[in-house]
Structure 1
Amino acid sequence: MSTASAYLTIRGLNIDVVRKDIKHIHVGVYPPAGRVRIAAPLSFDDERIRLAVVQRLPWIRRQRKELQSAERQSLREMLTGESHYVWGLRKRLKVVERPGRAHIEVDGDRLALYVGADATTEQRRTYLDRWYREKLRSALPELISSWEQRLDVTVPRWTIRKMKTKWGSCNRETRNLWFNVELAKKHPDCLEYIVVHELTHYFEGSHGARFAALMDRNLPDWRLRRDELNGSPLAEEDWNA
């Protein structure tokens, strides 16, 4: 796919512009500071892009405000007493050093990490990351299946990965979906919002009026869920874009 990059300043906003061989313009606002990125068709000149940005300014500024005010966690050292989130609930980490296979259990308001005494901080983070992936991998199939039926669509493939600038992503050509592993830390309502959001891109590529109307019809409280997701704590180590 052909691409060309540029940089524009519009109404005081510094915007990254990438022109691609696509049909519609896409506007994204990314953590942590609200970087604005435009993906535009190759045929769009600067003036047409400026007009598209001006039309979306209220939405862009709202997204930037939400991201810039979001709470951020400091880099986790994986020590007893630290706070970690599981499905939107704060858990206190309890590290139990003992021989045997490393594993994690939820014990009330505690998140117990059983690990060898010689495990490094990075290894402990890796164990927790794998555990979050397992939680997300267990939750997504039923959720995706339910919305496939409701929207009369089929998801050929979905993947969990660490993503620095998005909660989820949809490839409209292959219809494959990607979900950020960080979603396992958020409330389940937020995960459902992202599933519906990405599936809605099967019908509408942009985030314009038609996209909002489809979301309104299929998930009426999506804006509340979006605000909860964007207002929840961000992991500092994962959002250094």
Structure 2
Amino acid sequence: MSNIFKKKLVVKGHVLNYELRFRPQKNIIIRIREGQLFISAPEGTPDWEIERAIYRHYEKITIVQNRYEEQSKYELYGSNKWIKIFDKPIPILLEEEMIHARLVNGCLTMHNYWDQEVQLKKIYNFLSQFYKNWFYEVTSQWALKMGVEFKTISLRIMNLKWGVCYPETGKIIFNPKLLHFPASHINYVIVHELAHLNHPNHSTAFWREVERFLPNYRELKAKINQAGL
């Protein structure tokens, strides 16, 4: 049975946490799974040799870890469960008993449904209710700036759209998955949908209005679309 140790190393001011295992093998092996650093080394390998291997591959390690952090929106497996809200991971506590979901002191507590698809649906439904007022207030602020009026705001899980606007009824629907992103990215979708109240299609005039209120909309649009639904 291999020995397992929790270790850390500071490289260029960055703390690298990693799990070290000693095994009957010839070489030091570095792996990254779900953003976590795992190292297996031959039995008896001194710390300095392991740390030298980390230093040698530091750039590649950070690139892979950063890419994982940027693209990951939630983690529902393992001991540390979390979901990103406004681009910040908040812990999730799953309970066996049937309880009402709640978000208190930066921690989301809810029933464990033992099925990721069902769990996510329940999470997004809860977040839709919890943050509906936030979307309403921010949309109202932008509507005032843009000189437009909407009738209703709702949140609904959608597989292909971040938002939908129905100009004829003044109804706007937002995807609760937007909550994974920074407020600046959400603002782009809000301005985008509000602009549709005056311009139903993606015409030149439509994009001019979006740019008028968000000059950097192209950058925000690219980042949110790159992340994917």
Indicate if the aligned counterparts of 1:104 and 1:128 stay in contact, CA closer than 8 A. Answer: no
Indicate if the aligned counterparts of 2:165 and 2:173 stay in contact, CA closer than 8 A. Answer: yes
CA distance in 1, matches of 2:217, 2:104: 29
Q: 1:93 — aligned with what? A: 92
Task: Say what the alpha-carbon RMSD is for the aligned residues.
Answer: 2.9
1:201-225 CA-partner distances (Å, limit 9, x unpaired): 1122222322221111111121222
Q: 2:33 — aligned with what? A: none
Q: Is 1:158–2:153 an aligned residue pair? A: yes
Structure exhibiting the larger radius of gyration computed from Cα positions: 2
Shift in alpha-carbon separation, 1:114–1:168, aligned structure 2, 3 A: closer
Give how far 1:135 is off. 3.7
Among 197, 220, 224, the alignment partner of 1:229 is 224
Q: 2:124 — aligned with what? A: 129
Q: Is 1:196–2:167 an aligned residue pair? A: no
Q: Which amino acid is the alignment partner of residue 115 of structure 1?
A: H
SS, match of residue 158 in structure 1:
strand
Instruction: List alignment gaps of at least 5 residues for structure 2.
Output: 1-69
Aligned residues, how many? Answer: 159
Q: Which amino acid is the alignment partner of residue 103 of structure 2?
A: E
Q: Percent identity?
A: 21
Q: Is 1:81–2:80 an aligned residue pair? A: yes
Q: Is 1:213–2:199 an aligned residue pair? A: no
1:172-208 CA-partner distances (Å, limit 9, x unpaired): 2212111111112221112211111011111222223
Indicate if the aligned counterparts of 2:74 and 2:83 stay in contact, CA closer than 8 A. Answer: no
Indicate if the aligned counterparts of 1:80 and 1:92 stay in contact, CA closer than 8 A. Answer: no
1:25-71 CA-partner distances (Å, limit 9, x unpaired): xxxxxxxxxxxxxxxxxxxxxxxxxxxxxxxxxxxxxxxxxxxxxx8
Indicate if the aligned counterparts of 1:175 and 1:202 stay in contact, CA closer than 8 A. Answer: yes
Higher RCO (CA 8 Å, separation ≥ 6 residues): 1
Give how far 1:151 is off. 1.8
CA distance in 2, matches of 1:195, 1:146: 10
1:53-110 CA-partner distances (Å, limit 9, x unpaired): xxxxxxxxxxxxxxxxxx866996565424421111234534344x5733343656xx
SS, match of residue 146 in structure 1:
helix
Indicate if the aligned counterparts of 2:90 and 2:108 stay in contact, CA closer than 8 A. Answer: no
1:145-187 CA-partner distances (Å, limit 9, x unpaired): 1122112221111211111110001112212111111112221
Among 135, 138, 143, the alignment partner of 2:133 is 138
Structure 1 stretches (4+) deviating beyond 6 angstroms? none
CA distance in 1, matches of 2:136, 2:220: 20
TM-score (ref. length: structure 2):
0.58
Indicate if the aligned counterparts of 1:136 and 1:183 stay in contact, CA closer than 8 A. Answer: no
Instruction: List alignment gaps of at least 5 residues for structure 1.
Output: 1-70
Q: Is 1:103–2:98 an aligned residue pair? A: no
Q: 2:109 — aligned with what? A: 113
SS, match of residue 113 in structure 1:
strand
CA distance in 2, matches of 1:74, 1:168: 18
CA distance in 2, matches of 1:197, 1:107: 32
Q: Which amino acid is the alignment partner of residue 93 of structure 1?
A: I
Q: Is 1:175–2:170 an aligned residue pair? A: yes
